[in-house]
């Protein structure tokens, strides 16, 4: 079981979630929304081998926290994974898009400078601009577009750039999400929850529920969820190897 984009530190009781992860043997990428949360989340996770912590600066907080990009760049040599970073062009955040691009590209150039990183990237309402930025920084590392919600044409462009994708139960509840996920290259797909912001009924999704989304792909792919799960596990191995080989 793999949850490659989860906000462990934002659950009401993160330790209970980590215990559940241990019990079930779930592999998790714990993303952060500000670099100030990175050390604390690392401490919380401790020496758990299946949980990695990503260093992030979420585009939704860039308007208020853009100066923290300096802190992120300072911590980057110590961090193997970066996220959540990216751009948000939805109405609530459109005003800060230029600033978001400046911050995002500074992070991408710093990732290039340190030899590349695995990056979990937000692109809501701004896929084309995210891809433009990635095009300007081809050595930034492995870009994993989380909860992709662009057009089919943007998806094709992302695929041609070598992007990976993380898909989750909330995304695959919509026809559109299923359609996009069905067009992604299977050897570049990981699973995620984006919890605790996503829910199952009244409760936040849990990292060990990320594979639930694979049920939504069985029909389109003609592959059952057990096989799909094995493919995703194999993909995770390749991402981790690419990172440790840097």
Which residues form the interface with Mn ion (CB under 5 A)? 84, 194
Residue whose Cβ sits closest to Mn ion: 194
Buried b (16+ CB within 10 A) or exposed e, 100-113: bbebbbbbbebbee
Q: Which is nearer to Mn ion, 142 or 198 (CB)?
A: 198
User: 138: which residues sit within 8 A by CB, 6+ positions away?
Assistant: none
Q: Which is nearer to Mn ion, 5 or 113 (CB)?
A: 5
CB atoms within 10 A of CB 6: 31
Q: Which is nearer to Mn ion, 68 or 218 (CB)?
A: 68
Residue among 227, 207, 241 at smallest CA distance from 45: 207
* Closest separation in Å from C-beta 179 to Mn ion: 22
* Closest separation in Å from C-beta 226 to Mn ion: 27
* Closest separation in Å from C-beta 14 to Mn ion: 15
* Closest separation in Å from C-beta 57 to Mn ion: 12
* Closest separation in Å from C-beta 194 to Mn ion: 4
Buried b (16+ CB within 10 A) or exposed e, 215-239: ebbeeebebebeebbeebeebeeeb
* Closest separation in Å from C-beta 222 to Mn ion: 30
Classify strands 199-200 and 189-191 as parallel, antiparallel or unpaired.
unpaired
Residues 220, 209 contacting (CB under 8 angstroms): no
Residues 86, 63 contacting (CB under 8 angstroms): no
How far apart CA 4 and CA 236 sit, in angstroms, is 9
How far apart CA 59 and CA 51 sit, in angstroms, is 23
Q: Which is nearer to Mn ion, 30 or 237 (CB)?
A: 30
Q: Which is nearer to Mn ion, 154 or 194 (CB)?
A: 194
Q: Which is nearer to Mn ion, 49 or 124 (CB)?
A: 124
Q: Which is nearer to Mn ion, 158 or 170 (CB)?
A: 170
* Closest separation in Å from C-beta 144 to Mn ion: 12
* 31 three-class SS: coil
């Amino acid at each position: 079981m793999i949850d490659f984009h989860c906000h462990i530190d934002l659950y009401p009781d993160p330790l209970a979630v980590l215990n559940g992860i241990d019990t079930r043997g779930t592999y998790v990428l714990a993303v952060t929304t500000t670099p100030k949360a990175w050390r604390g989340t690392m401490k919380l996770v401790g020496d758990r081998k299946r949980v990695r912590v990503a260093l992030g600066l979420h585009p939704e907080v860039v308007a208020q926290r853009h100066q923290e990009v300096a802190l992120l760049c300072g911590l980057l040599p110590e961090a193997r994974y970066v996220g959540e970073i990216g751009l948000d062009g939805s109405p609530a955040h459109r005003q800060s898009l230029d600033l978001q691009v400046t911050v995002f590209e500074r992070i991408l150039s710093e990732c290039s400078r340190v030899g590349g990183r695995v990056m979990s990237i937000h692109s809501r309402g701004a896929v084309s601009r995210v891809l433009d930025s990635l095009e300007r920084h081809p050595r930034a590392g492995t870009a994993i577009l989380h909860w992709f919600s662009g057009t089919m044409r943007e998806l094709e462009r992302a695929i041609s750039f070598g992007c990976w994708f993380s898909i989750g139960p909330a995304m695959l509840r919509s026809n559109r999400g299923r359609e996009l996920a069905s067009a992604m290259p299977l050897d570049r797909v990981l699973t995620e929850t984006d919890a605790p912001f996503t829910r199952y009924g009244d409760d936040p999704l849990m990292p060990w529920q990320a594979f639930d989304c694979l049920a939504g792909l069985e029909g389109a792919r003609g592959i059952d969820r057990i096989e799909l799960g094995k493919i995703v596990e194999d993909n995770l191995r390749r991402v981790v190897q690419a990172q440790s080989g840097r």
